[in-house]
Structure 1
């Protein structure tokens, strides 16, 4: 697998477990927008902002870690770790080990949900956190990760 043409102008949009079911899984909580629609919107916004957005989704923790490692020198990563946010030390360590800024996004307001969702092992090591804004949060997260990348270059 070859990398992007310009890693410094490339952002990884990474989605974790069950996000492939967006649009059909619990629409009252997550809405009816599909993951493909989210990826298209974020990709379009990336084009407007002058960056390439590479999208990936996996239900496998190891595959997510591998994707983070491959993007470690990119402009940044927007990640929705899904349930892994609450217990994946491997995902946390992968985020903490890289130089690229990472912004975590959750579609729902995790603090208005079950208590076990109130704890995140990944959020202490990310550069930014967006939650409760629905799928629009992905666009906010892209803007935030690009801001963090610009701050690191300055």
Structure 2
């Protein structure tokens, strides 16, 4: 049995579809979760899709992932720019890590230009909306396939 991909979502993402649709789109987090489940099935993988508005809970999820996940896709939302605790937790996860942002953070106000989490990520996808999550699944699948080949 393969380990799942943990897909972690930060504060306020539970309000997707309602919150600033001109920036974040109209898709809900439940719809994005469904897309991720379907995309992962295509690769014979599973996802564990989670959201929390609390920094410590997200840190706990990353810690769980150290034993339970093959990779982490994370949209840390506002914690991207402030959470050293989340950065440190991600540094301790040995598998592939992909940071996802629905909006292009580099086109937004300067406060959104510097993600701390990016320092721990293998890759960053920004500005592609919900498609970014699906592309992150493709990246995790590629990383894990290469890791398995290297272990042979």
TM-score by length of 1: 0.93
1:138 matched to 2:115: no
Alignment of 1:1-150 (within 5 A): 6=1, 8-73=2-67, 74-150=69-145
Q: Unaligned 5+ residue runs, structure 2? A: none
RMSD value over aligned CA atoms? 1.0
Over residues 102-150 of structure 1, what are the superposed CA-to-partner deviations in whole Å (9 max), with x where a residue is unaligned?
1000000000001010011110111111001011111001111221222
Question: 1:40: Cα distance to partner?
Answer: 0.4
Q: Which runs of structure 1 show a deviation greater than 6 angstroms over 4 or more consecutive aligned residues?
A: none
Check the 8 A contact 1:79/1:105 in 2, yes or no. yes
| Structure 1 residues without counterparts, runs of 5 or longer | 1-5
Q: C-alpha separation between the residues in 2 aligned to 1:82 and 1:72?
A: 21
Aligned length: 148
User: Conserved in 2, the CA contact under 8 Å of 1:77 and 1:103?
Assistant: yes
Greater mean alpha carbon deviation, residues 138-147 or residues 109-118: 138-147
* TM-score, structure 2 as length reference: 0.94
Structure 1 residues 61-93: Cα deviation after superposition (integer angstroms, max 9, x where no partner): 000000011111321011100011101000000
> 1:11·1:75 contact (CA, 8 Å) conserved in 2?
yes
Three-state SS of the structure 2 residue aligned to 1:14 is: strand
